[in-house]
Amino acid sequence: MTDRPERVGARLQDLTIQVGAEMMRSLQRYNELLQRLAGGDLDEKVAREAYVVFMRDETERYFRGIAEVSTGYYDALLQLASIYNPPFFEQAISRVQRRNVAPSQPENGVIELRGSPGGEAISEVRITNTSNRNEEIAFVVSEFTGGPGTVPFRAPLGLQPPRFVLAPYESQLVRVRLPLVAGLFVPNQYYSSVLTVKKRDSFDLSIRVIAIAPKEDARG
């Protein structure tokens, strides 16, 4: 069953046209018969006997023809089903799988890291492959920026794992670790950066760092 949809559709259309034309021809011949009977050209008794003989001889062939037409009709329907059903179910299953996997980005697209200078801030983000092909995942981190007057700087942000391959609809939890180096990160300040997730359709996540004062400094 390798017919293209347009070929199968054309066959059904041709069959419909042929059936309609044959019905019109039958009606015309039936009208002619009635007119000839009414005009006396044909004897009604003879016509009735001829009709009985015709029905007796042609009934078997008639029903055999109906069976052949029905077989062809259902064969065409099966061909249409074989063409359209697989893509439909593939798309339906794909949508269900995409709906059941975890989101590929954190809420609002922001990764929040919180900690005291001299310590380490840790968070996690789940990356999901929502396509039906393998995806190679890698990351690029921009410079960090602080408040007004702060010069952009590089920070030793680490990602575990730093790169990986995701199978279709698979996801991976990535740990984000940032040592809050004293001197780079000042207490009670906010810092930001951009984490680019490199894939076929790359996207950016915002990193927001909240540097808090150590407890001993807060008491002082």
Q: Supply the mean pLDDT for the chain.
A: 78
- Looking at the structure, tell me whether residues 215 and 145 fall in a common domain: yes
Distance CA 128, CA 167 (A): 9
- 39 has pLDDT over 70: yes
Do residues 85 and 127 both lie within one domain?
Answer: no
How many CB atoms sit inside 10 A of residue 125's CB? Answer: 21
Secondary-structure breakdown of the chain: helix, strand, coil percentages, each rounded to the nearest 5? 45, 30, 25
Query: Residue 104 pLDDT > 60, yes or no?
Result: no
Residue 158 near residue 111, CB atoms below 8 Å: no
Over residues 176-190, the mean pLDDT reads: 92
**Amino acid 82: pLDDT:** 64
* Range name among 18-22, 44-48, 163-167, 180-184 with the lowest pLDDT average: 44-48
Query: What is the span of the domain harbouring residue 96?
Result: 5-100
Question: 215 pLDDT band (50/70/90 cuts)?
Answer: confident
Residues 59 and 124 reside in one and the same domain: no
Task: Report the C-alpha gap between 118 and 126 in whole angstroms.
Answer: 27
What is the arithmetic mean of pLDDT over 144-152?
A: 87
Sign of the CA dihedral with 180 first, then 182, 188, and 193 last: negative
Tens of pLDDT, residues 125-137 = 999 999 999 999 9
Closest to 104 measured CA to CA, from 135, 58, 143, 65: 135
Residue 85 shares a structural domain with residue 158: no
In this predicted structure, which of 8-17, 51-60, 139-148, 177-186 has the lowest mean pLDDT? 51-60
CB 113 within 8 A of CB 176: yes
Angle between helices 44-100 and 5-38 (to 10 degrees): 160
- State whether 65 and 119 are in the same domain: no
Q: How far apart are CA 220 and CA 11, in angstroms?
A: 89
Are 90 and 152 part of one and the same domain? no
Q: What is the DSSP string of 124-175?
A: EEEEE--SSS-EEEEEEE--BB-STTPPPB----EEESSSEEE-TT-EEEEE
Number of domain units in the chain: 2
**Domain termination site, one of 51, 74, 100:** 100
Collapsed DSSP state (helix, strand, coil) of residue 187: coil
132 and 213 housed in the same domain:
yes
Q: State residue 199's pLDDT score.
A: 93
Residue 133's φ and ψ, nearest 5 degrees, are -130, 160
Q: Domain end: 33, 67, 100, which one? A: 100
Does residue 215 share a domain with residue 117? Answer: yes
Same domain for 142 and 56: no
Pair 163, 188 in one domain: yes
Domain edge (last residue) among 100, 121, 139: 100
Task: Say which CATH number the domain at 194 has.
Answer: 2.60.40.10
